[in-house]
């Protein structure tokens, strides 16, 4: 049953902010639009409407308050009794009951300083963070993001991006960049919501169940790691425990840490490591004792993954083919010297479990 909403005096400003009902077929400005199908389908379920003049304005930006008003259409179950207490959201504001409801449903939060910034245009990262709370993909930690700027995704939204990409709610973007600080349009917001709802056949009760699960059992999030460290490598079977990884394969770098081949990715894809085979605190002296099937753990600011050793072999010192090869599964490739064989290297590869 629809939750009781406060009675609010409707002004012309309010009408401009919250579209009034209009059937998808009456929209005069979506024909041929890239997101026409998503807008039409989402509208057909009564989850979004157009403006009094028959337009939808697909390329207009959308505010954080308007986004929360859209979420209210889903009638999500309240998860917490926490009240909205943002200092910039007053009980007399038209959007107050929507924000209060969204807070209770566990799908939105504010900024530092207890503010919500309701009139700010919402960014792609902010929208992804919100929609991700409606969806849960078990494969979020194994996907390879295709974006050229994926390594610049902030920690607070990294898991959300991976969750929605794994769930096919988001896909590629222009110039192969996610550009998360971009202010998104009404059309893009509806595209994400429509794709999310399709996974539940538009059954809002199932969405509420997922929202509850995400609230009570959140997916693992990225962790803070010192700025000069890429991550930590652990291979318990050969006595390697949280060895720090630093970017670079030069001699100075691998005197103080496991080195990372800068030519390789740092998280998704084929990640390449190298180290001395002796004499240093963080070296690969015991890599020669590793066995197929052993577990390798790599912890980074993007998350933690477990890998299983699949390949152990000698390679020529000039052979970079395995290190730079594209892979379908996330892979760690580790290289070190072989004693008394100066032209050879030991290569070990592990794929994500």
277 and 132 in a common domain: no
Domain match, 156 and 239 both: no
Please tell me whether residues 20 and 127 are part of one structural domain: yes
CATH assignment at residue 342: 2.40.260.10
**189 and 280 inside one domain:** no
Establish if 326 belongs to a structural domain: yes
For residue 3, tell me if it sits in a domain: no
Confidence of residue 9 (pLDDT cuts 50, 70, 90): very low
Residue at 149 is within a domain: yes
Place of tokens 């995704």: 153
Same domain flag for 152 and 248? no
Q: What mean pLDDT is reported for the chain?
A: 90
Judge whether 347 lies within some domain.
yes
Length of the chain: 353
In terms of domains, do 74 and 35 share one?
yes
The percent of residues above 90 in pLDDT, for the chain, comes to: 81
| Tens digit of each residue's pLDDT (9 = 90 or more) over 243-267 | 999 999 999 999 999 999 999 999 9
Q: Return all residues near 351 (Cβ < 8 A) that are at least 6 apart.
A: 307, 308, 310, 327, 329, 330, 331
SS3 assignment, position 310: strand
- Tell me: pLDDT of 153 over 50: yes
Q: What is the pLDDT of residue 5?
A: 36
- Per cent of the chain over pLDDT 70 is 93
pLDDT of 71: 95
Is position 2 within any domain?
Answer: no
Q: Which of 216, 243, 270 is the last residue of a domain?
A: 216
Domain hosting residue 205, numbered range = 12-216
Which H or E run includes 156? helix 155-166
Question: Are 240 and 117 contained in the same domain?
Answer: no
Please report the pLDDT score of residue 305 as a whole number: 95
Flag whether 222 is in a domain.
no
Asked if pLDDT for residue 6 goes beyond 50, the answer is: no
Shared-domain flag, residues 192 and 241: no
Give pLDDT, residue 302.
85
Q: Catalytic residue among 33, 260, 274, 276, which?
A: 276
**276 is known as an active-site residue:** yes
Identify the pLDDT of residue 16: 34
User: Is 121 domain-assigned?
Assistant: yes
> What is the number of domains present in the chain?
2
The pLDDT, as a whole number, for residue 276 is 96
For the ranges 10-24, 32-46, 67-81, 333-347, the lowest mean pLDDT is seen at: 10-24
Last residue of a domain, one of 187, 216, 245: 216
Between 36-44 and 186-198, two packed helices, what is the crossing angle to 10 degrees?
A: 60
Question: Which residues on neighbouring strands pair with residue 258, listed in sequence order?
Answer: 245
Across 89-99, average pLDDT: 96
Catalytic-labelled residue, pool 33, 183, 274, 337: 337
For range 234-239, the mean pLDDT: 98
User: Is residue 39 domain-shared with residue 180, that is, in the same domain?
Assistant: yes
User: How many CA atoms, within 13 angstroms, populate the side-chain half-sphere of residue 7?
Assistant: 0
With contact defined as beta carbons under 8 Å apart, do 170 and 161 qualify? yes
For residues 175 and 239, state if they share a domain: no
Q: Would you state the pLDDT for residue 78?
A: 93
What is the C-alpha separation between 170 and 68, in angstroms, rounded?
Answer: 19
| Pair (193, 96) in one structural domain | yes
Q: Specify whether 236 is located in the same domain as 210.
A: no
274 counts as catalytic? no
What pLDDT score does 220 carry?
A: 78
273 inside domain: yes
pLDDT (0 to 100) of residue 222: 67
Provide mean pLDDT across the span 285-302. 96
Of 216, 247, 277, which residue is a domain's last? 216
Residues 6+ apart with CB under 8 A from 24: 30, 39, 40, 41, 43, 44, 50
């Amino acid at each position: 049953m629809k939750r009781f909403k406060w009675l609010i005096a409707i002004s012309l400003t309010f009408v401009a902010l919250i579209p009034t009902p209009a059937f998808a077929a009456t929209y005069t400005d979506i024909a041929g639009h890239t997101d026409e199908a998503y807008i039409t389908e989402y509208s057909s379920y009564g989850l979004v409407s157009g403006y009094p003049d028959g337009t939808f304005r697909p390329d207009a930006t959308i505010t954080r308050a308007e986004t929360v008003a859209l979420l209210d259409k889903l009638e999500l179950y309240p998860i917490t009794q926490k009240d909205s207490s943002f200092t910039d959201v007053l009980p007399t504001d038209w959007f107050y009951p929507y924000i209060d409801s969204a807070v209770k449903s566990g799908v939105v939060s504010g900024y530092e300083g207890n503010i919500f910034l309701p009139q700010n245009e919402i960014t792609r990262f902010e929208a992804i963070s919100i929609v991700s709370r409606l969806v849960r993909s078990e494969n979020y930690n194994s996907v390879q993001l295709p974006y050229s700027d994926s390594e610049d995704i902030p920690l607070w939204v990294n898991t959300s991006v991976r969750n929605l990409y794994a769930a096919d709610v988001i896909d590629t973007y222009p110039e192969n960049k996610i550009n998360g600080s971009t202010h998104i349009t009404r059309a893009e917001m509806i595209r994400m919501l429509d794709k999310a709802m399709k996974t539940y056949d538009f059954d809002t009760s199932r969405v509420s169940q997922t929202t509850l699960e995400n609230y009570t059992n959140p997916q693992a999030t990225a962790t803070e790691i010192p700025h000069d460290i890429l991550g930590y490598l652990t291979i318990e079977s050969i006595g390697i425990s949280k060895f720090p990884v630093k970017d670079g394969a030069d001699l100075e770098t691998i005197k103080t840490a496991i080195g990372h081949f800068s030519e390789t990715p740092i998280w998704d894809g084929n990640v390449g490591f190298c180290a001395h085979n002796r004499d240093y605190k963080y070296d690969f002296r015991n890599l020669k004792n590793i066995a197929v099937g052993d577990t390798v753990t790599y912890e980074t600011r993007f998350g933690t993954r477990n890998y299983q050793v699949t390949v152990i072999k000698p390679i020529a010192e000039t052979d970079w083919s395995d290190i730079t090869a594209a892979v379908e599964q996330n892979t760690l490739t580790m290289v070190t010297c072989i004693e008394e064989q100066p032209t050879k290297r030991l290569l070990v590869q592990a794929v994500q479990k």
